[in-house]
Structure 1
Amino acid sequence: MSTFKVLLAALTVGFMPSLSLAAEPAPVFNDAQKAAIEATVRDLLTKKEPEIVMQAAQTLQEKAEKEQAAKGKEAVSQNLDRIFKDANSPVGGNPKGDVTVVEFFDYSCGYCKMAQEVLKKYMAEEKNVRFVYKELPILGDASIYASKAALASVAQGKYIAFHEAMMEAKERLTEDSIKKIAKDVGLDVVKLTKDMESDKIKTMIKANQDLAADIGARGTPAFVIGEKLYPGALSPEQLKEAVDEVRKAKKK
């Protein structure tokens, strides 16, 4: 439904109380009459009183955002252990940090690569944050291959280096380029390609996909900090503010 029709419906509902007080039933309009009335109201709102449309649209948008935020917080609060304490999710930063930042990402996602620049700089400066990596390949076969390879690299103790190298790669990721990156960071590629096909790796990725769906993380990147879901890439200021907010809440 268009924004205008939503507004028109809202205005119509607003007039209903006065109509219900009338002694006679409200008139029934045919399709042509309804179209004419809608055109008249549209003309009035868009040409005579455009600020009404803008204000109403803003109000509806704010309401929708608040409702979405409330649903997101509830979903996160119901899945805290899966988000923060999953033993299979790779961990970076300070394992004993006072705040945990969780990221859902895809190696083929341009916005994830932008986020990586912010995160890498932040983690270099911030020494008391724990970081949890949630592989969420949603952009095709190359993404799935990259995530499987990344999770398999944990067994060789090279996850962080491999993760960063794939995120910072300028070329489009393919099976060949992923294997080359793996070799460049010191991974045993033969062992890696064998390990990445294990049922355990597939189960880990499926678990991340299910978790993302359950908390409303519909794209990448997506972050969970505290009990809030942050969809999309975060600026340095937004990331710092989110972490500081959790720390302040802990002091109360």
Structure 2
Amino acid sequence: MSRLTIALVALAGILAGGLAVSLYKQPQALDTAQVRSVVEDVLKERADAAPVPVETAAIDQDKLNPMIESYLLGNPRILQRVSEALDTQLRAEQRDKAKSLIAQMSDAIYNDPDHVVLGNPNGDVTLVEMFDYNCGYCRNALPDLATLLAEDPNLKVILKEFPILSKESVDAARVAVLVGKDKDVDYWTFHQALFTSRGKVTAETALDEAQKLGMSKVDLALKMGSEEVSTAIENTYRLAKALNITGTPTYIIGNELIPGAIGLDELRGRISNVRACGETVCTSG
């Protein structure tokens, strides 16, 4: 009960007592208008009066902090629950942000004429991978992609050259862009050859593998520095900047950005979820 409520109750009691005494000593009765007038006058005086100050106890940090520390040390699972709740909240926020960014950049992600499409071009789920030929994690993840392509006839895969680790990576990507543009050449064979080659992947590595597939090594060397090739790679850089992508491999599935090689089972799970509910994480209910 607030102080004002208590005061009003007390006031009502005083008024009731005063009126009773008055009526006892004086036989004449007060009419309704007179009673209302007296009550309104008293309430107005209370409203105009200065507010009653509320005293608050000062917090002694020297006493409070050890109490908090002692409580948390005695109940450490509280910190675990807080950490888990924070992690859940941050993941949800990241998913919401990624979903918004992917929607904004949808055309650049899925309709770039310079990227390479593998698998079923009309597949019901699209897996995008941004990679660097000198990325060890990308190399280790190659079998995952090969397995998905082999076992899932309804999967569409988009590969985007994202050379960020070295100049050699950029040079190899330039050759790869030209290989990807030649519809008479099996890009997937070329792609696997570069990731399974020994040592650092360079322009020479890429040119040699392209030549094995029937392309002219000299012609490729002359064209790899062209504006057309530079634009293709720069478009991927711009996309990566817009999506806040800084490493390889990075996958895009449905409404999720996935940094790092997460493994075959995780990729399968997300693809299955997209088919089931339209998102990589399905919620029941």
On whether the aligned pair clears a TM of 0.5, the verdict is yes
2:116 maps to which of 90, 99, 116: 90
Alignment of 1:140-179 (within 5 A): 140-156=166-182, 157-158=184-185, 159-179=187-207
- Give me the whole-angstrom Cα distance separating, in 2, the residues matched to 1:41 and 1:111: 48
Give the whole-Å Cα distance in 2 for the aligned partners of 1:42 and 1:145: 59
Tell me the distance in 2 between the aligned counterparts of 1:85 and 1:61: 34
1:185 offset after TM fit, Å?
3.7
**1:107 partner SS:** coil
Unmatched tracts of structure 1, length 5 or more: 1-20
Closer, same or farther: CA 179–26 of 1 in aligned 2, 3 Å: farther
Match among 247, 258, 264 for residue 230 of structure 1 = 258
Deviation at residue 67 of structure 1 after TM alignment: 0.8
Residues 208-217 or 111-120, more deviating: 208-217
* Partner amino acid, structure 2, of 1:189: K
Give the TM-score normalised by the residue count of structure 1: 0.77
* Number of the residue aligned with 1:3: none
Identify the structure with bigger relative contact order (alpha carbons < 8 Å, sequence gap 6+): 1
Residue 86 of structure 1 aligns to which amino acid in structure 2?
D
Structure 1 equivalent of residue 38 of structure 2: none
Partner of 1:4: none
Asked whether the equivalents of residues 98 and 128 of structure 1 are also in contact (C-alpha less than 8 Å), the reply is yes
Partners of 1:214 and 1:118 lie apart in 2 by: 27
CA contact (8 A) 1:45 1:52 kept: no
| Cα distance in 2 for residues equivalent to 1:44 and 1:123 | 56
Q: Which moved more, 1:205-214 or 1:179-188?
A: 179-188
Radius of gyration: which is bigger? 2
* 2:83 alignment partner in structure 1: 57
Report the Cα distance in structure 2 between the residues aligned to 1:22 and 1:177, rounded to whole angstroms. 80
Alignment CA distance shift 1:87-1:26 (3 Å): farther
Q: For residue 206 of structure 1, what is the aligned residue in structure 2? A: 234
Query: Paired residue for 1:194?
Result: 222
> Could you state the TM-score of these two structures normalised by the residue count of structure 2?
0.69
Q: 5+ unaligned residues in a row in structure 2: which ranges?
A: 1-52, 279-285
